[in-house]
Every structure is written in structure tokens, then in C-alpha cells.
Amino acid sequence: MAVPGHKLDRMFNPEVVAVIGDKGPMYMWLQNNMPFKEKGGKLYSVQLDDKEIPGIEALGIQNFKSMADIPEPIDYALVAVPRQVSPYVLKDLIANKANGAGFFTSGFAETGEELGVKLQAQLTEMAKEANFNLVGPNCMGLYLPKAGVRFNADAPIADDGKIGFLSQSGTHGIMFSLVSAANGMHVSRCASFGNAVVLDVSDYLEYLMLDDETEIIGMYVEGVKNGRRFFETLSEACKRKPVIVWKGGQTEAGARATMSHTGSLAAPQAVWDGMMKQCGAITTNNLDETIDVMKLLLNAKRPAGNGMALLAQTGGQSVSITDAFSKAGLRVPRFSDGTYKELGEFFNIVGGSFQNPLDMAGTIQGSMDTLDRILRILDADPNVDAMAMELSAMFAARQWKGKPETLDKTIEEIATHKERSKKPFIVILHPAHEAEYIAKITPKFHAANIPVFQSFERAAAAFARVLAYENR
């Protein structure tokens, strides 16, 4: 859904896209954006080199040697030209009333070179004077799955994206789009903004917080240009929807690295942490943590407390899952007397236990009716705020391979419980020695909107972060 009147609206909902300076043999940027053309968007090329034009036209894309010849105003342009040429391209974009452009071109102030610094200052002055939406430079630009605009050929085209993602790093923007999709979650809009000389993270954040299609916002950021504006925008965004912030340059060495990457000055970590807490943002340290938190926010009920019922398949794993959740600051309480009484009526305590945690493989023995009975009993316990259940690839994979219907029944049972319960429910499926098989079946859990994690520690850390967000 558009945000009418916002300065970024045309860029985020383009009808006309131009790729400037793309070259063969791959024609990467034109190929990346072919879905935009296939969806009915108008995709044009601007290329002066006569040797490149036949290859462009072979793609079915009309090429122009001048932006002035493009028959419609450009909503978004992708610029891939040498840095020395960039000011001339920007001049033409402004003259032809283009709305905005992502400058893939690098080699600016992040290099520390006199020429790079000078060219960046020139681009900045020109764009600000013209009120032009310049994304970057030194960035991958925009990824708009619904429109078919992509910065990577493997990024999926999807109409159901719920996550807005902002990344100062091009690589992290690409990685997030691919990894989130692999976890059953799609992007609504994504911006890789690099050096952020004109549009800063606050501009994109403002748009995403107003966008109804975006339910949660994530970002990788190394530094901000205007700290006060960022604080105010982030505070407002966190009032509207969850915002997850992954900060790059948390250490002294990492802060030095940001200077050569995007030319960003990293704020002292203690100051940054204080700002995040005051704004109400969820903070993470890496891609995995970011994905895990989003998985819970999108696919689990919001937690009301920290009392965990933990369900494991063996005694050793019951101890390990308890340690993981306890270390994350979560409680593993005693069940109520009524729960113990009900479980005691049928639970097999030879090689098992119905204390919290449960060691339950010997009791269930593949019976979905028994699993359903256990889940209903625990769900009714007043001491239980949420449940986490281990599925053991070490023992179950052989059965699931031999009888795939048993896997389908297990997923169906979990999905049914998850929907009827008002309490969060998460699954831990460690790959063990069956990494290839587990990777193959995990999309089945995603399709059923079941949040599934590969380790106890990752599940516990994500739950603790979401709980802290709910209790902020």
C-alpha cells in the first residue's frame, strides 16, 4: 500500500524504472529487474556504448542514449556507472524530473581518497539542492518484491511481504532477503542505502512505519547522520510496530571498519544501547538473531509471562533445553498439582518424566492423540505462559523418512494446537546428523506458520527478546 504524499512513495511504488549504464555479458541490473517488466512495469535502459545496445535489445528492453528521450517520468533509476560519470548522470536525472535513484557506484568518501570525497560532496550538494531522492551511493538500492524490483537475481518475488528491512550494507540487505525467505518470511520493502549522503535511515524508517503492508521493521545500521531525528523517528516507529535494530560497529575494531565500509562514524555503544532502550526497539547482534526474533513476532502469540513448559524427547535433551531457557532469564516453573495429577494418569515414567521439563518420547510413541492430550493439559496450567517443544531429528528422521505421513500428522497437530492456544508455542528441530533432510522438510513447518529453531539457545534468546519487548 502506498503512503500518499510521502516523498519516497513514487520510488517505493514505481511504474517506470530505468537502468543506467548496465553492461554485458550478464546485464545484471536489467536481468534482476525483468520481473518488474513482466508484471507490467515499464523498464528502460540508458546506455551510450553502441557495443552494448544489441545485448540490451535482445532482452526485449528498449534502450535510449539520452534520458530526455524516455517517454515517461522515471520513478526509480538504478545507476551503475564509473564514479567520475555519476555527477553527469545525476544532472540528467534531475533535469528530466526523475523522482529518485539508487547509485550502485562506489569509490566515494568511504575510500578516504581526495577524489572520492570530492565526488561525494558534489553528488550531495546537487541532490539536496534539487530535493532529489538519492539512495546511496555505494549501495544495492531498492528491493520491492511486490513490484518486481530486485537488487539480486535470487531474491524472491512475493506479494505477501510483511517485513520492511533497511540496510546500510548491500551484502546484509541481500542476505536478509534470501535468509528471511528461506525461513518462510517475505519482505515488503527493502532499502540498501550505503553512504546515505542524502536519504538517511530516518527517511526510510519514516516511510515503513506509515506503510500498512509492513508489520515489522528490521534494520542493519552502522551510523546515522542526524541523531536527534533518528531518535524521534525510531521512538514513533516503535509505538506503531516492532522495530529490530542490528547495529554494526559495536566494538572499537568494528567501528573502525565502518569508516572504510560506508564512511560512518559509530556512536559509543553505551549511548546507542541507551537510545535503543528508551525508544523501545529490539536489539540484535547478527543476522541469525534478527531472523529469529522476526520469526516469533510473525508466527507466535505474544508472550504474557516467562513461565516455560519445556517438552523434550530424551532425558539429556530435557536437561539441555532447561539450561538454555534458564540462562536466557526465563523460568521453568513447577506445574500445578492438577497438571501433575492428570499427567500421572498415563505418563510412562520408566525412562521418562513429567516434571517440568518433560521427557516424553516413551509416552507419546508416535501417538498424536497422546501428544494432543499432553499439550491440552499443559496449556491449561496457570503456571505456564508459553511452551517450547523439541523434535529430535536423531530419532524421528528415520521414521519420518519411512512414513512421511507421520511428519505431516505431527505438523498438523502442532499447528492445530498453536491456533487454538492463546499462549506462544515454539519448536526446536536440531538437524543432528540429518542436516540435508531437515533442510528439506523445514519449509513444511514454515508453511504451517510454526516458528521452528535449530537450537535451544537460539529459541530461548529470541523468546527472551520478544518478552522484553512486550514488557517494555
Sign of CA dihedral 397, 300, 414, 462: positive
Under the banding of pLDDT at 50, 70 and 90, the label for residue 265 is: low
% of the chain with per-residue pLDDT over 70:
96
For residues 157 and 145, the answer to whether their CB atoms sit within 8 Å is: yes
For 175-179, 252-256, 278-282, which range has the lowest pLDDT when averaged over its residues?
252-256
Under the banding of pLDDT at 50, 70 and 90, the label for residue 396 is: confident
Q: In degrees to the nearest 10, what's the CA dihedral of 336, 355, 423, 323?
A: 130
| Identity at 191, one-letter amino acid code | A
Q: Determine the pLDDT at residue 7.
A: 96
Closest-CA residue to 206 (of 370, 7, 365): 7
Q: Which residues contact 7 (CB under 8 A, 6 or more apart)?
A: 131, 133, 203
Q: Determine the pLDDT at residue 270.
A: 83
Residue 201, pLDDT > 70, answer: yes
Under the banding of pLDDT at 50, 70 and 90, the label for residue 251 is: low
Residue-averaged pLDDT of the chain: 94
Q: Determine the pLDDT at residue 395.
A: 79
Q: Determine the pLDDT at residue 250.
A: 63
Does a cis peptide bond (omega within 30 degrees of 0) precede residue 357?
yes
Q: Which residues contact 369 (CB under 8 A, 6 or more apart)?
A: none
Under the banding of pLDDT at 50, 70 and 90, the label for residue 264 is: low
Residue 42, pLDDT > 60, answer: yes
Q: Where are the domains of the chain?
A: 9-296, 302-470
- Render pLDDT for 299-343 as a digit per residue (tens, 0 to 9): 999 999 999 999 999 899 999 999 999 999 999 999 999 999 999
User: What's the CATH superfamily of 9-296?
Assistant: Succinyl-CoA synthetase domains (3.40.50.261)
Cell of 228: 536527534
- Bridge partners (DSSP) of residue 18 are 44, 77
295 vs 349, residue with greater confidence? 295
Q: How far is CA 211 from CA 5, 163, 192, in A?
A: 12, 11, 18
Under the banding of pLDDT at 50, 70 and 90, the label for residue 399 is: confident
E strands, 36-156, are 42-46, 62-64, 76-79, 100-103, 133-135, 141-143
Kindly list the strands in the beta sheet with 62-64, ordered across the sheet, starting from the edge strand earlier in the chain: 62-64, 42-46, 16-20, 76-79, 100-103, 133-135
Residue 159, pLDDT > 70, answer: yes
- Render pLDDT for 59-68 as a digit per residue (tens, 0 to 9): 999 999 999 9
- Render pLDDT for 2-26 as a digit per residue (tens, 0 to 9): 899 999 999 999 999 999 999 999 9
Closest-CA residue to 216 (of 243, 236, 234): 243
Q: Determine the pLDDT at residue 361.
A: 85
- Render pLDDT for 115-158 as a digit per residue (tens, 0 to 9): 999 999 999 999 999 999 999 999 999 999 999 999 999 999 99
DSSP assignment string, 268-288: PHHHHHHHHHHHTPEEESSHH
Residue 261, pLDDT > 80, answer: no
Tell me the average pLDDT across 274-297: 97
Q: Which residues of 17-34 are buried (b: 16+ CB within 10 A; e: fewer)?
A: bbbbbbbbeebbbbebbb
Q: Which residues contact 315 (CB under 8 A, 6 or more apart)?
A: 351, 352, 353, 359
Q: What is the CATH number of domain 302-470?
A: 3.40.50.261
Closest-CA residue to 11 (of 128, 95, 98): 98
Residue 260, pLDDT > 60, answer: no
393 vs 140, residue with greater confidence? 140
Q: Determine the pLDDT at residue 441.
A: 95
Under the banding of pLDDT at 50, 70 and 90, the label for residue 220 is: very high
Residue 435, pLDDT > 60, answer: yes
Q: Determine the pLDDT at residue 140.
A: 96
Tell me the average pLDDT across 261-282: 80
